[in-house]
């Protein structure tokens, strides 16, 4: 076998991906990059019409099959139905990207238990449910890639983020534990840990002192990440280039955690 396959390692032609939370933002960007590398994709959002609109745009741009599905990833029945529909439409799912997530900010004394629980249900339980739903057919075929969206806040702390940091720390540990669990089944499990990207989630703090000084101002590159800058990490972890990578956290944060 040649030891110099080069760029062909990143070719996803003939593969299929399912991406949650992807009617916009990082999820949509990662769905587009999988399609650009040759994959057929299923885009999942709580709002099916938005997911389908994003899927239609990706299909037009890259010429590969793209479908939109509606599901609340925190609801077990929704996830099971979504997985069945995706497999029926695409035949199987090779790549799962768990990108659905929310962030509720505030000091612990100002947050309700319901708010804390909501973040855990979507960010943690949702990722767990989607992995559980799609793993059987990956195991059967002895091949699969699961990519969780953790965060730099799963690795370091930040004030007024207890729900989000707790959830992303859990995603980091879920990634490690599941990677060990399915290693013999031909499935790898990794996580991307994004830093400050100017998504809808971060727009409310973009022009605040916190956003300027403690988030963007604390990065080595002194700027917000651009959506395209998450795409290389997603293609890498989804591709043959990452065949010996599992249980890892790939940090894409402009140097925020380097300090």
Q: What is the pLDDT of residues 217-256, one digit of tens each?
A: 889 999 989 999 999 999 999 999 999 999 999 999 999 9
Average pLDDT over residues 120-133: 98
- Say whether pLDDT at 1 is over 60: no
Residue 3 falls inside a structural domain: no
Residue 72 falls inside a structural domain: yes
Question: Residue 2: its pLDDT value, please?
Answer: 54
List 62, 116, 164, 197, catalytic entry = 164
Average pLDDT over residues 99-127: 97
Which residue's entry shows tokens 């994709």?
Answer: 41
Residue 50 falls inside a structural domain: yes
CATH, residue 181:
3.40.50.720
Question: Residue 3: its pLDDT value, please?
Answer: 61
List the end-to-end C-alpha distance of the chain, in Å, as a whole number: 42
- Name the pTM for this structure: 0.94
CA distances from 90 to 10, 120, 220, 237, 238 (A): 20, 30, 41, 21, 17
User: Which residue segment(s) compose the domain that 83 sits in?
Assistant: 8-251
User: Do 189 and 247 touch, CB atoms closer than 8 A?
Assistant: yes
Residue 196 falls inside a structural domain: yes
* Chain Cα centroid distance, residue 68: 16
Taking only the tens place, the pLDDT of each residue in 130-180 is 999 999 999 999 999 999 999 999 999 999 999 999 999 999 999 999 999
Question: Residue 59: its pLDDT value, please?
Answer: 98
Average pLDDT over residues 40-44: 98
CA distances from 66 to 18, 19, 59, 199 (A): 10, 11, 5, 23
How many domains does the chain contain in total?
Answer: 1
Residue 256 falls inside a structural domain: no
Task: Give the chain's radius of gyration (CA, Å).
Answer: 18
Write down the mean pLDDT value for the chain. Answer: 94
Annotation marks residue 164 as catalytic: yes
Question: Residue 200: its pLDDT value, please?
Answer: 73
């Amino acid at each position: 076998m040649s030891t110099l396959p080069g760029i062909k390692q990143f070719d996803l032609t003939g593969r299929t991906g399912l991406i949650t939370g992807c009617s916009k933002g990082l999820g949509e960007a990662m769905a587009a990059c999988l399609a650009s590398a040759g994959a057929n994709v299923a885009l999942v959002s709580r709002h099916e019409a938005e997911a389908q609109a994003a899927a239609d745009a990706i299909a037009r741009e890259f010429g590969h099959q793209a479908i939109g599905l509606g599901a609340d990833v925190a609801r077990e029945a929704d996830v099971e139905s979504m997985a069945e529909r995706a497999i029926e439409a695409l035949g199987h799912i090779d790549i799962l990207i768990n990108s659905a997530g929310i962030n509720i900010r505030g000091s612990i004394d100002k947050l309700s238990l319901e708010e804390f629980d909501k973040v855990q249900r979507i960010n943690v339980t949702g990722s767990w449910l989607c992995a559980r739903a799609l793993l059987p057919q990956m195991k059967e075929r002895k091949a699969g890639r699961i990519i969780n969206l953790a965060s730099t806040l799963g690795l370091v702390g930040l004030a007024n983020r207890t729900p989000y940091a707790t959830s992303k720390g859990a995603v980091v540990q879920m990634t490690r534990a599941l990677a060990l669990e399915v290693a013999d089944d031909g499935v790898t499990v990794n996580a991307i840990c994004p830093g400050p990207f100017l998504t809808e989630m971060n727009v409310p703090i973009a022009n605040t002192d916190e956003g300027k000084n403690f988030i963007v101002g604390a990065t080595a590159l002194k700027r917000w990440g651009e959506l395209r800058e998450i795409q290389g990490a997603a293609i890498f972890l989804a591709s043959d280039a990452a065949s010996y990578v599992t249980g890892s956290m790939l940090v894409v944060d402009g140097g925020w955690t380097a300090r």
